[in-house]
């Protein structure tokens, strides 16, 4: 005897099965489409995205000192490196680094190091001219960065991030 | 005992909406409770009362608070200095959060000691852990609202935990922030959720109590109710006992509130948030310290998981493991009174959590003893974290298996009646 729920066609798939699956699938897609705006509204809004580039005059930064500028609400370090700092950064063996990168890959002009000043561990702001590698030191959980901003010791997994930037002239850079 | 309604209007009303009998069955004469509940059973009702205090003071604060990065800090100072009794409302709310955690932590350790998580109360226990998680989220977001230095940097560090998620980490964090750092959109959404979650909490608390009433309270002996001779009606016995406990609690709360209202907080939060300067020492509120210690104690990679992600996993796991505790504990006996070995490790766990709390408040590289400089707080934290997980994953299953429990009384009333016969 065949059951009545499958439309009387035995064990094979029926039109009713098809309708169930099609309705269910359409319902799921529709629900997902309805939920998406509620999720996406939390993403950065148009005005926040619009603020995403900053121009900086770097002519006044003396060798061996740095300034902090704000880009997208985050601090960006712009450091005028000394010859000695550049040399130490270049002399480092890449093998032992947690996040291997040459100094060259991290700068456009060796005397200018431009980095997002946010520790890649949990987001604190590292202090300059400090730490065991004379670069930056993050006091929150003890991460040490070298003169190229590479992570050398501590819980942070990655080197300090290099933001997109370009030299508009010798004296002005545009970050973002 | 069943309820007699004498008033005609109430009888009329009850016929249309049986709310009086609902209350009577929940906290009245028709709710039979074990007759041997001790004062450790006061903390559930206290938690409920503190939740109400938080909601009432919170709604009042919301009338004067402004959720905007330029005004939030000043509006809280305005509450403190200008609003009539504003200082009282804010201190009640800020210290109320601490009271809430004290009460709930005692409530949880009570459950651990007397085996209240065991069959048939597993779902009740789960709902309790969900309450703890929602409470933590609420308190975390509330702490961001005054927009002081700790608010800002606490929010930064904790939201950054999600950046440890592989591949999607950064997108998740930007989504949480509504930008590229903790900023005005973050403050606004935290305010919205901080207002919402306590009411979600009320809903989960109702489910928690529903599950409780299905099998009634556990009790210090940890044995089942065998019949009416083992119970007394909730009202007037436990209403009176709960009220007395409430009195004691309010004295304690008042001492903190009126004489040391800032003792549990962090002074740096009276400095307005500055996104360009991280305070030298970031510490969460005291109730998060043990979990923060677990997070920071993971300084090593394991297989393909890096230390940062592993720390986050360990921290969440330290709470989530409670969900499976009813099955990790293999002993049939509930109460630690009859479990000589478990009783010892219960106290070891308690001490371990206190130690983790101390570790969470210290700088990781600080030496624990001045005489032994190589032994730092991060090392102590690693030992504490290891022990925490060993307790649940290794000791709980093993002890249930080899421990020989003491003989259980035949019923709740048996030891009482024996005593009365002397
Ligand atoms: C589970 C219940 C709640 C907990 C644990 C909690 C916790 C907190 C905490 C820890 C703070 C920071 C206090 C400070 O340091 O100043 C806070 C602030 C605040 N909360 Fe709540 N809260 C709860 C419920 C509510 C509710 C229901 C509302 C609104 C209806 C609310 C509104 C506020 C407001 C406006 C502030 C900012 C003012 C201030 O910082 O004092 N809270 N909350
Ligand atoms: S945030 Fe820098 S070490 Fe943790």
- Under an 8 A CB cutoff, do B275 and A75 touch? yes
Query: Which of B162, B180, B169 lies closest to A164 in space, CA to CA?
Result: B180
Task: Say how far apart CA B275 and CA B269 lie, in whole Å.
Answer: 13
pLDDT of residue B300: 77
Ligand 1 close to Cβ of residue B65 (< 6 A): yes
Cβ atoms < 10 Å from Cβ of B373: 10
Check: CB of residue B215 under 8 Å from CB of residue B121: yes
Render the burial of A13-37: b for 16+ CB within 10 Å, e for the rest.
Answer: eeeeeeeeeeeeeeeeeeeeeeeee
Quote the tokens at residue B282. 């970031």
By CB atoms closer than 10 A (0-12, 13-18, 19+), residue A97 is middle
Q: Does B379 touch chain A (CB under 8 A)?
A: no
- Under an 8 A CB cutoff, do A70 and B180 touch? no
Render the burial of B167-187: b for 16+ CB within 10 Å, e for the rest.
Answer: eebeeebbbbbbbbbbbbbbb
Residue of chain B nearest A153, judged by CA positions: B299
Q: How far is the CA of B54 from the centre of ligand 1 (A)?
A: 7
- Cα Dmax for chain B: 78
Task: Say how far apart CA A73 and CA B276 lie, in whole Å.
Answer: 9
pLDDT of residue A2: 47
| CA B368 to each of CA A129, B374, B377: distance values in angstroms, whole numbers, following the listed order | 28, 9, 6
- Under an 8 A CB cutoff, do A155 and B299 touch? yes
pLDDT of residue B419: 54
| CA A36 to each of CA A41, A108, B172, B175, B286: distance values in angstroms, whole numbers, following the listed order | 8, 40, 15, 13, 37
Quote the tokens at residue B342. 């478990």
Global confidence as pTM: 0.87
**Domains, chain B, ranges and CATH?**
24-417 (1.20.810.10)
Task: Flag whether the ipTM exceeds 0.90.
Answer: no
Query: Which of B404, B76, B45 lies closest to B242 in space, CA to CA?
Result: B45
Shortest-distance atom of ligand 1 to CA B64: 35
Asked which of A15-29, A122-136, B297-311, B314-328 is least confident by mean pLDDT, the reply is: B297-311
- Under an 8 A CB cutoff, do B278 and A125 touch? yes
DSSP B310: H
Cβ atoms < 10 Å from Cβ of B82: 10
Check: CB of residue B102 under 8 Å from CB of residue B264: no
* Chain A positions in Cβ-Cβ contact with residue B277 (cut-off 8 Å): 125
Please indicate whether residue B213 is annotated as part of the active site: yes
By CB atoms closer than 10 A (0-12, 13-18, 19+), residue B363 is middle
Quote the tokens at residue B104. 């709930």
Is residue A53's pLDDT more than 70?
A: yes
Check: CB of residue B131 under 8 Å from CB of residue B296: no
When the pLDDT of each residue in chain A is averaged and rounded to a whole number, the result is: 86
* Chain A positions in Cβ-Cβ contact with residue B153 (cut-off 8 Å): 124
Instruction: Annotate B223-269 with DSSP letters as a single string.
Output: ----SGGGEEEIIIIIHHHHHHHHHHHHHHHHHHHHH-TTTTS-GGG
| CA B76 to each of CA B71, B73, B301: distance values in angstroms, whole numbers, following the listed order | 9, 5, 42
Q: Is the dihedral of CA B274, B275, B277, B282 positive or negative?
A: positive
Can you name the CATH fold of A49-175?
Answer: Rieske Iron-sulfur Protein (2.102.10)
Q: Is the dihedral of CA B396, B399, B401, B404 positive or negative?
A: negative
pLDDT of residue A98: 86
The enclosing H or E element of A77 equals strand A74-80
Sequence-distant (6+) residues with CB within 8 A of B344 are: none
Pick from A78, A123, A142 the residue to mutate for testing the B interface (most B CBs within 10 Å): A123
Q: Could you list the pLDDT tens digit for every one of the 422 residues in chain B?
A: 467 888 999 999 999 999 999 999 988 888 999 999 999 999 999 999 999 999 999 999 999 999 999 999 999 999 999 999 999 999 999 999 999 999 999 999 999 999 999 999 999 999 999 999 999 999 999 999 999 999 999 999 999 988 888 889 889 999 999 988 899 999 999 999 999 999 999 999 999 999 999 999 999 999 999 999 999 999 999 999 999 999 999 999 999 999 999 999 888 999 999 988 888 888 899 999 999 999 988 877 777 777 788 888 999 999 999 999 999 999 999 999 999 999 999 999 999 999 999 999 888 778 888 777 778 888 899 999 999 999 999 999 999 999 999 999 989 988 766 655 43
Q: Which of A130, A149, A156, A160 to mutate to test the pocket of ligand 2 (most atoms within 8 A of CB)?
A: A156
Q: Helix or strand or coil: residue A45?
A: coil
Instruction: Tell me the ligand closest to B146's alpha carbon.
Output: 1
Nearest to A75 among B175, B276, B282 (CB): B276
Shortest-distance atom of ligand 2 to CA A138: 2
Q: Which residues pair with B135 in a beta bridge?
A: none
Residue ID of nearest Cα to ligand 1 atom 25: B58
Mean pLDDT of A60-82: 88
Pick from B278, B279, B291 the residue to mutate for testing the A interface (most A CBs within 10 Å): B278
Residue ID of nearest Cα to ligand 2 atom 1: A122
- Reported as a single tens digit per residue, the pLDDT across A142-171 is 889 999 899 988 888 889 999 998 888 888
pLDDT of residue B421: 42
How much helix, strand and coil, in percent to the nearest 5, is found in chain B? 70, 5, 25
- Under an 8 A CB cutoff, do B175 and A45 touch? no
Task: Say how far apart CA B216 and CA B412 lie, in whole Å.
Answer: 14
Chain CA centroid to CA A146, Å: 19
Chain CA centroid to CA B312, Å: 19
DSSP A171: S
pLDDT of residue A9: 54
Quote the tokens at residue B253. 């709360």
């Amino acid at each position: 005897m065949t059951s009545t729920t499958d439309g009387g066609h035995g064990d094979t798939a029926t039109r009713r099965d098809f309708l169930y699956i099609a309705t269910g699938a359409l319902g799921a897609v529709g629900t997902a489409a309805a939920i998406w705006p509620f999720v996406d509204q939390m993403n950065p809004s148009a005005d926040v995205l619009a603020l995403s580039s900053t121009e900086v005059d770097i002519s006044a930064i003396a060798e061996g000192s740095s300034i902090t500028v704000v880009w997208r609400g985050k601090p960006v370090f712009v450091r005028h490196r000394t010859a000695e700092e550049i040399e130490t950064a270049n002399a480092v063996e890449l093998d032992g680094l947690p996040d291997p990168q040459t100094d060259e890959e991290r700068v456009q002009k060796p005397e200018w190091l431009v980095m997002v000043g946010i520790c890649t561990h949990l987001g604190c702001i590292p202090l300059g001219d400090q730490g065991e590698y004379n670069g930056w030191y993050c006091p929150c959980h003890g991460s040490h960065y070298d003169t190229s901003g590479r992570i050398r010791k501590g819980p942070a997994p990655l080197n300090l991030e290099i933001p997109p930037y370009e030299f508009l002239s010798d004296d002005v850079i545009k970050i973002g | 005992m069943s309820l007699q309604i004498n008033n005609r209007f109430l009888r009329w009303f009850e016929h249309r909406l049986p709310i009086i009998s609902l209350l009577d069955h929940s906290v009245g004469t028709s709710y039979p409770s074990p007759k041997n509940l001790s004062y450790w059973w006061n903390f559930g009702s206290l938690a409920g009362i503190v939740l109400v205090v938080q909601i009432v003071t919170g709604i009042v604060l919301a009338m004067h608070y402004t959720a905007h990065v330029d005004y939030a800090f000043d509006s809280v100072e305005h509450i403190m200095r200008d609003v009539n009794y504003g200082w009282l409302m804010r201190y009640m709310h800020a210290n109320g959060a601490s009271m809430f955690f004290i009460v709930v932590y005692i409530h949880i350790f009570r459950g651990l000691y007397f085996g209240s998580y065991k069959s048939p109360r597993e779902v009740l226990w789960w709902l309790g852990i969900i309450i703890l998680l929602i409470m933590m989220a609420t308190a975390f977001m509330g702490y961001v609202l005054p927009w002081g230095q700790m608010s800002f940097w606490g929010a930064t560090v904790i939201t950054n935990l999600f950046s440890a998620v592989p591949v999607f980490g950064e997108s998740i964090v930007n989504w949480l922030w509504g930008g590229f750092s903790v900023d005005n959109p973050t403050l606004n959404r935290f305010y919205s959720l901080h207002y919402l979650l306590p009411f979600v909490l009320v809903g989960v608390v109702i489910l928690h109590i529903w599950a409780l009433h299905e099998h009634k309270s556990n009790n210090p002996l940890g044995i089942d109710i065998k019949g009416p001779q083992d119970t007394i009606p909730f009202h007037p016995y436990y209403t009176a006992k709960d009220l007395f406990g409430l009195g004691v609690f309010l004295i304690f709360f008042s001492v903190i509130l009126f004489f040391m209202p800032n003792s549990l907080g962090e002074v740096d939060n009276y400095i307005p948030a500055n996104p360009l300067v991280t305070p030298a020492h970031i510490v969460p509120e005291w109730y998060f310290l043990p979990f923060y210690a677990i997070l920071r104690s993971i300084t090593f990679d394991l297989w393909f998981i890096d230390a940062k992600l592993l720390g986050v996993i360990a921290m969440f796991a330290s709470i989530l493991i409670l969900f499976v505790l009813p099955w990790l504990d293999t002993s049939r006996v509930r109460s630690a009174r009859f479990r000589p070995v478990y009783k010892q490790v219960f106290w070891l766990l308690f001490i371990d959590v206190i130690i983790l709390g101390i570790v969470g408040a210290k700088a990781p590289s600080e030496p624990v003893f001045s005489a032994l400089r190589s032994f730092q707080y991060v090392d102590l934290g690693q030992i504490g974290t290891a022990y925490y997980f060993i307790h649940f994953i290794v000791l709980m299953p093993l002890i249930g298996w080899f421990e020989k429990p003491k003989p259980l009384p035949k019923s709740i009333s048996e030891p009482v009646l024996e005593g009365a016969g002397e």
